[in-house]
Amino acid sequence: MDRPNPFFRNKWSKAASLPMMLIVWVVFVCGTIWTVLFSFTNIKILPLFTPQQWMDGFVGFANYTRLFKTDRWMSCPGITKILTEDWEFKCAGALPNMVTYAVFSIVISVSLGFLLAVMMDQKIRAEGVFRTIYLYPFALSFVVTGHVWAWIMSPEYGLQHSIRQLGWESFTFDWIADRQMVMYAIVIAGIWQGTGFVMALMLAGLRGIDEDIWKAAKVDGIPAWRTYLQIVLPMMKPVLVTTFVIVTSGAVRIYDLVVATTDGGPGISSDVPSRYIYQNFSANLGQSLAASTVLLVTMAIVLIPWIRMEFGKKSQA
Amino acid sequence: MKTWKIAALMLSVVLPSASLATDLEVTHWWTSGGEAAAVAEFAKAFDATGNKWVDGAIAGSGDTARPIIISRILGGNPMGATQLNPGKDADELIAAGLMQDLTDLATAEDWANILRPASQLESCTVDGKVYCVPVNLHSAQWMWTNRKVYTDLGIEPPKNFDEAVAAAPALQAAGIQPFSLAQGWPVGLMVNDILVAQAGVENFVKVYKDRDLAIAGGPEFTKVFESLAAVRQFVPADKMVPQWNEAVGLVIQGKAGANIMGDWAGGEFAVANMVAGQDYDCLPGLGVTPVLNTGGDVFYFPKSADPAVTEAQLKLASTLVTKEVQVAFNLKKGSLPMRADVDLSAANDCMKKGLAILDGSDAVFPNDVQMIDRDSINQINDLFTEFMANPDMAAADAQAKFVSIIEAAPK
């Protein structure tokens, strides 16, 4: 009968986490709700807060209409010609650029990271040294990474110039100045920076696999590559999902790498959503809020399946 | 121990208001060598009044600093004073009552008569009240050419933009870049210069201020877009350099024929010991229409509840426009002083050319930020940046987009 109120169970740990909870609620949750709500108003640079201001400034989807009419955010000229011969699925602008970056950096850095982790797992000599070397780029900020790669890839000063000086006159590597290829140049810099981290995560996953699995596979005569692909990889699903979520959220919020490498150039061909949001911040907050909401929805699409997978199972069990 | 702490606490509260010297944090984005030397003149003069200048330099261009400055004022953590560009950037802040009114000081010191051109103080004035102090004049309408590049090829050095375009194929054949260009805002600057030179000041003002869509879509602006397309083929994206001073450097080294850049480029030629009129030419208004815009820098003073801070703010505002400070600052900055009644014998030829234009005041026209909101300017800049980098974008398409931006801009 004297059962303690569950509210007061672990009361000290609850008290200790209160400040953090407050910050999460006030900064993240309220901030997010405010962003979404006021993206439907004609807000300019002064922030609005009250319901009355919201009602007065309500403009419906005007900010979103303008956002998707802006070439800098997204333009898909080929798509409007659907059902004709000129039809093509090709888009330019900040949002498609982010998708390109996300897809390529996820696919390449996860597969490359996994390969490196497998190599590390072969009980090689001086593993610590290699691990440090591969993880080292991750210790550099995106700004440093971006500037270094901007110089390396610059056709005037970098790799192209050096190799031409060595005598290979026709050598061309000018992605960073090529409107069609510039996003891939940024992908290169991003992968260089991020693969080591993916490797570290994967290596931790590999080390978590029970030795007995390997022994059993050996007894059954399964070659090592098949063991990795068909037994170990499926067992590493939690690590893979975590990696995927980290790399994806990194790609969605990409800003500093682009600013340091190309600053959105040539023209605006390597613009990304965060840069668009930031640049509208002191001129047209409505655009920033609408663009942020679009990003939020994008993130939700990625995260919700993960949350269901991670936390949904427990309630079923 | 405890009483000591309380005493210290009380002292820290009492001291700032008791002492006469007030610390004033001043934010600005003057961080290059010459700029920092110039701003130090302000600091020196302000410290001499018994107050203290606390330097709050923000690295990067105005595009980086502006959001930081505005968000600090909006967020209730205002600085004592801040640099901004004249125009509509601060309009909403003024409307919200966040800026200190300087009208009384301006009337007492008769700014309306000692500062010229009048347009500069006008853009600081909202509903008859003065909210900022103009400190200098910069003009962006200059073309810089290396005379030796042209004479070596047996060509007469160009006297205007059209001649430079005409000479471009010969330079290209000799392996010299006809025009140098840096990425980012220099593209927008060059576009604006060509726009004003080709369409004329009157049409520029009609489109930007009166939103005359017939002119924006008409033949005068078609010529602008066609000129830009001509320049575009001479500066492909892989020839662009990262910084404006590198683009000026290419002209100084003779690797490029001409560069379009503001009057601050003159400092680079001076450092290279080149003489205006002999080694290089500076052509205001690109040599087509000798006009200058009235861009420059102004200082705003966010409102403070502390009367000591307000007093120091007014003191600083008054210090910035005194004769001695104007001369010391502008000689280092390479800009033109706000006052006509100062001695500028140390100025170089290009500065004197600028001053001559400034004195015939109808050749001075307002800056785009003084006529149209920042949101629309950003969109126009995006359009031109894209146009200059994308050889597939037709001049007619770009012009149509330009018209729609002007049409949508709030009055």
Contacts of A169 (CB under 8 A, 6+ apart): none
Q: Higher pLDDT residue, A162 or B291?
A: A162
B73 contacts B98 by C-beta, under 8 angstroms: yes
Helix A182-207 and helix A94-120, axial crossing angle in degrees, nearest 10 = 40
Residue A218 belongs to some domain of the structure: yes
Residues of A with CB under 8 A from a CB of B: 44-47, 70-72, 150, 155-156, 174, 177-179, 263, 265-269, 278-284, 287
Question: Closest Cα partner for B130 from B99, B92, B170?
Answer: B99
Domain that holds residue A139: 92-280
The Cα–Cα gap between B92 and B74 comes to 10
Looking at residue A105, its pLDDT comes to 92
Per residue in A37-82, pLDDT tens? Answer: 999 988 877 777 888 888 888 888 988 988 888 888 888 876 666 6
Q: What chain B residue is nearest to A173 in terms of C-alpha separation? A: B238
Q: Which of B242, B375, B389 sits opposite A284 (nearest CB)?
A: B375
In this model, does residue B10 exceed pLDDT 60? no
* E runs forming strands in chain A: none
Looking at residue B20, its pLDDT comes to 60
Looking at residue A309, its pLDDT comes to 75
Superfamily of structural domain B23-138+295-356? Periplasmic binding protein-like II (3.40.190.10)
A177: closest CA of chain B, how far (Å)? 5
Q: Higher pLDDT residue, B20 or A30?
A: A30
Looking at residue A13, its pLDDT comes to 85
Helix A273-280 and helix A94-120, axial crossing angle in degrees, nearest 10 = 130
The Cα–Cα gap between A94 and A275 comes to 8
Looking at residue A113, its pLDDT comes to 93
Say whether residue B407 is in contact with chain A using an 8 A CB cutoff. no
Residue A21 belongs to some domain of the structure: no
DSSP-assigned beta bridge partners for residue B81: B26
Residue B35 is inside which H or E element, if any?
helix B33-47
Looking at residue A209, its pLDDT comes to 87
CB neighbour class for B3 (10 Å; exposed up to 12, middle 13-18, buried from 19): exposed
Mean confidence (pLDDT) of chain B: 84
A235 contacts A216 by C-beta, under 8 angstroms: no
Residues of B in contact with A46 (CB under 8 A): 74, 92-93, 96
Contacts of A177 (CB under 8 A, 6+ apart): A154, A155, A266, B236, B237, B238, B240
Residue A233 belongs to some domain of the structure: yes
In this model, does residue A317 exceed pLDDT 50? no
Looking at residue B13, its pLDDT comes to 46
Q: What burial letters (b/e) apply to B270-307, b meaning 16+ CB within 10 Å?
A: eeeebebeeebbbbbbbbbbbbbbbbbbbbbbbbbeee
Residue A29 belongs to some domain of the structure: no
Per residue in A167-201, pLDDT tens? Answer: 888 888 888 888 888 999 999 999 999 899 999 99
Q: CA end-to-end span of chain B, whole Å? A: 64
A36 contacts A64 by C-beta, under 8 angstroms: no
Positive or negative, the CA dihedral A213, A217, A219, A223 is: negative
> Which sequence spans correspond to the domains of chain B?
23-138+295-356, 142-293+372-408
Looking at residue B14, its pLDDT comes to 44
Residue B283 is inside which H or E element, if any?
strand B280-284
Residue B24 is inside which H or E element, if any?
strand B23-28
Strongest mean pLDDT among A158-162, A300-304, B235-239, B345-349: A158-162
Looking at residue B341, its pLDDT comes to 80
The Cα–Cα gap between A118 and A211 comes to 15
Query: Would the CB atoms of A267 and B386 count as touching at under 8 Å?
Result: yes
B335 contacts B50 by C-beta, under 8 angstroms: no
Looking at residue B19, its pLDDT comes to 46
Residues of A in contact with B401 (CB under 8 A): 71
Q: Which of A46, A71, A150 sits opposite B92 (nearest CB)?
A: A46
DSSP-assigned beta bridge partners for residue B146: B280
In this model, does residue A1 exceed pLDDT 90? no
Model ipTM?
Answer: 0.70
Residues of A in contact with B92 (CB under 8 A): 44-46
A147: closest CA of chain B, how far (Å)? 11
In this model, does residue B15 exceed pLDDT 50? no
Query: Would the CB atoms of B96 and A279 count as touching at under 8 Å?
Result: no
Residue A3 belongs to some domain of the structure: no
Residue A114 binned pLDDT confidence (cut-offs 50, 70, 90): very high
Q: What burial letters (b/e) apply to B27-57, b meaning 16+ CB within 10 Å?
A: bbbbeeebbeebbbbbeebbeeeebebeebe
Which tokens belong to A264? 């959105």
Q: Higher pLDDT residue, B275 or B360?
A: B275
Q: Which of B89, B184, B389 sits opposite A263 (nearest CB)?
A: B184
Q: Counting every residue, how long is chain B?
A: 411
Using a pLDDT cut of 70, give the percent of chain B over it.
92
Residue A68 belongs to some domain of the structure: no
Q: What chain A residue is nearest to B237 in terms of C-alpha separation? A: A177
Looking at residue B290, its pLDDT comes to 78
- Give the residue from A42, A44, A45 with the most B CB atoms within 10 Å of its CB, the best one to mutate: A45
The Cα–Cα gap between B75 and B77 comes to 6
When mean pLDDT is compared across A148-152, A313-317, B258-262, the lowest value belongs to: A313-317
Residue A141 belongs to some domain of the structure: yes
The Cα–Cα gap between B241 and B258 comes to 14
In this model, does residue A104 exceed pLDDT 90? yes
CATH class of the structural domain B142-293+372-408: alpha beta
Residue B363 binned pLDDT confidence (cut-offs 50, 70, 90): low
When mean pLDDT is compared across A222-226, B294-298, B405-409, the lowest value belongs to: B294-298
Per residue in A10-19, pLDDT tens? Answer: 888 888 888 9
In this model, does residue A290 exceed pLDDT 90? yes
Residue B274 φ then ψ, to 5° = -100, 150
Q: What chain A residue is nearest to B91 in terms of C-alpha separation? A: A45
A11: closest CA of chain B, how far (Å)? 33
Say whether residue B242 is in contact with chain A using an 8 A CB cutoff. yes
CATH code of A114's domain = 1.10.3720.10
Domain total of chain A:
1
3-state secondary structure of B129: strand
Which tokens belong to B11? 């002292």
When mean pLDDT is compared across A80-94, A116-130, B1-15, the lowest value belongs to: B1-15
Residue B346 binned pLDDT confidence (cut-offs 50, 70, 90): low
Which tokens belong to A42? 């004609």
Which tokens belong to B194? 């060509």
Question: Closest Cα partner for A73 from A82, A64, A62?
Answer: A64
Residue A237 binned pLDDT confidence (cut-offs 50, 70, 90): confident
Residues of A in contact with B387 (CB under 8 A): 267
Residue B16 binned pLDDT confidence (cut-offs 50, 70, 90): very low
- Give the residue from A282, A285, A287, A289 with the most B CB atoms within 10 Å of its CB, the best one to mutate: A282
Helix B33-47 and helix B307-320, axial crossing angle in degrees, nearest 10 = 120
The Cα–Cα gap between A285 and A51 comes to 18
The Cα–Cα gap between B190 and B199 comes to 14
Mean confidence (pLDDT) of chain A: 85
Q: What chain A residue is nearest to B409 in terms of C-alpha separation? A: A284
Which tokens belong to A216? 């059993």
